[in-house]
Amino acid sequence: MNDSVNIQPQLLPWWRYLTWFFVILAFSLYWLNPDQNQPQKFSYTEFKEKVRANEVARVTLQGDQVSGSLRQIDLSKAADEKKVPLRFVTTLPPVDDPELISLLEQHRVEVHAISEQTIWWMQALIGVLPWLLIIGLFWYASGKMQKRMTGADSPWGGIFGFSKSRAKRFRKGESELTFDNVAGLENAKRDLREITGYLKNPDHYRKLGAKIPKGVLLMGPPGTGKTLLAKAVAGEADVPFFSISGSEFIEMFVGVGASRVRDMFASAKKEAPAIIFIDEIDSVGRARGTGLGGGHDEREQTLNQILGEMDGFNPNEAVVVLAATNRPDVLDPALLRPGRFDRKITLDLPDKKSRRAIMDIHSRDVPLADDVDMDRLAALTIGFSGADLENFINEAALLSGREDKENVNMASLLNARDKVVLGSKREMIIGDKEKKLIAYHEAGHALAASLLPNADPLDKVTIIPRGQALGVTEQIPEEERYNLQQSYLHDRIGVMLGGRVSEQMIFGEVSSGAENDLKQATRLARHMVTHWGMSEQLGPVAFHRGEEHIFLGREMTQQRDFSEHTAQIIDDEICNLVKSIEKEVMKLLKEHRRLLKNLAEALLGKETLEADDIQSIIDKEKVEEEDIR
């Protein structure tokens, strides 16, 4: 439980209390009145005549108003007993009547007098009530602003509490996550164990002359477990943990972010040893001097305060700052220097072994069927992050629930993977002519992937529309690739061009369906020529377009570091590379035109072909060719 949540009984708003107070007051005044019937209004002349006729029993004098009750009369003698009043009221004339009191005494009327000063509380309430309403409205509005600006649940802080830190604080022992709950990331956990060891027993490290790193920067793609790893450090070290996002420092008012930084670091120092975790630090830690608003905006002041606080740590203060970002290239150099973030830990996408361990963790509470093969799933999820794997397992559980299954079987897991990777199935009505075009397009991809020696193995081909694609040819690498060889890249572009080549060969023209294929092939060819030196004419030279500006648009600031003549050569090399690969693929598909037709017809019949189905068609074709020979 974090301290930012104030657990209190749910109280009614102040205006509801005020409403109930006035309702109860009105009912009290009504029920405590001994006379429930409405008084009849008499003129002053009628009132004196009633007194002379001995019909008045008592009167009450209050200012210029006289109220009272009549004597009990025999209602049976009255013509209409409903019209016989018992209470009355009248108004005294502006000029005092000296005979009134003697007349009342003469006819033995009980006289009461009420001074106007006895209702002072009513006058005070009328005067104070508007101010109470204004103060209550201001108090209520300030509480709403406090909740919106600080996340606090209580309005007692008012609008003056927005400069306080909004960091969520987990006290010692509240975080149950440890390194055992984090699968993979062994290198990162090895570096962080030193931090947790220092926080647990700082004296041992001080005797050796070691100083705790002031800051640890976690870098990696989204979903690789940076936040999870930071929480595991807090749980492993068993120390207070302050967690905040970098965007929560920034407000409309200049200086608020810096004030929140000071307050957060002061709170951490009081509870040292402690951990401060700043997620998405690139939102406040971007390089200074590159913004359009000058050097004194709120973001830069916040960054300056963070730099100052990290420099201000005394050597014996056991406070560690963990920060996470997926854009380390945009951070300010002063933030990355030793003495602030001394240690930088890179978190990569999990490998096959780590993916298997991550899926085992996320499937603990999921009833799996006996046919589930986790090793195969780990091989089919290359490129998945930890968050992707968690989402994949959850999608499989949802699909099983939708189909009223008692457990999650392999079919549900494979369908969930296809949904995550390829997208959901689209309900589209496609004509026979266009469906045939899609089938030959995907058959061209599949045949090129099967015949090119360095291409990744096929896993599935489908002409069922998924996501933004009308058809998909999916390849799964046999192993993790960290270096891409020229032959592999050459065949990869060949597979991309296989669909377009098949359309050109069968229908005599191409369609717009190869747009994404051409975009990926051109991008890959450009990298081969300009980044990796895979060009015969240009040789082992890299040509970059310059560094991207971290605030302005990319296209506005990509400056070339080569001449126009070199740019022309680069364009020619890219075109020649793609065209030469296209010719090779065209020749390959023409030699196996019959096999291409068989694959397309199988796709039209089944709509989806697995790797075994494709291989059986290829093997059958080889046998027939050998028989013909």
Q: Which residues are catalytic?
A: 442
Say which residues have a Cβ less than 8 Å from residue 345's Cβ, sequence separation at least 6: 187, 188, 191, 192, 216, 217, 218, 219
| Spatial separation of the C-alpha atoms in residues 359 and 348, rounded to whole Å | 17
Q: Encode 213-229: b = buried (16+ Cβ within 10 Å), e = exposed.
A: bbbbbbbbeebbbbbbb
Contact in structure between 585 and 494 (CB atoms under 8 Å): yes
The helix/strand/coil state of 215 is strand
Contact in structure between 599 and 615 (CB atoms under 8 Å): no
Count how many residues are written for the chain.
629
Contact in structure between 585 and 501 (CB atoms under 8 Å): yes
Helix (H) or strand (E) holding 425: none
Closest Cα to residue 526, out of 582, 573, 487? 573
Q: Strand locations in 54-173, DSSP E? A: 56-62, 65-70, 87-91, 110-113, 168-170
The sheet that has 608-610: what strands, in order across it? 472-475, 458-462, 608-610
Say which residues have a Cβ less than 8 Å from residue 5's Cβ, sequence separation at least 6: 153
Contact in structure between 463 and 444 (CB atoms under 8 Å): no
Contact in structure between 574 and 529 (CB atoms under 8 Å): yes
User: For strand 241-245 and strand 168-170, is the pairing parallel, antiparallel, or unpaired?
Assistant: antiparallel
Q: How far apart are the first and last CA of the chain?
A: 77
User: φ, ψ for residue 254 (rounded to 5)?
Assistant: -70, 135
The helix/strand/coil state of 593 is helix
Contact in structure between 300 and 291 (CB atoms under 8 Å): yes
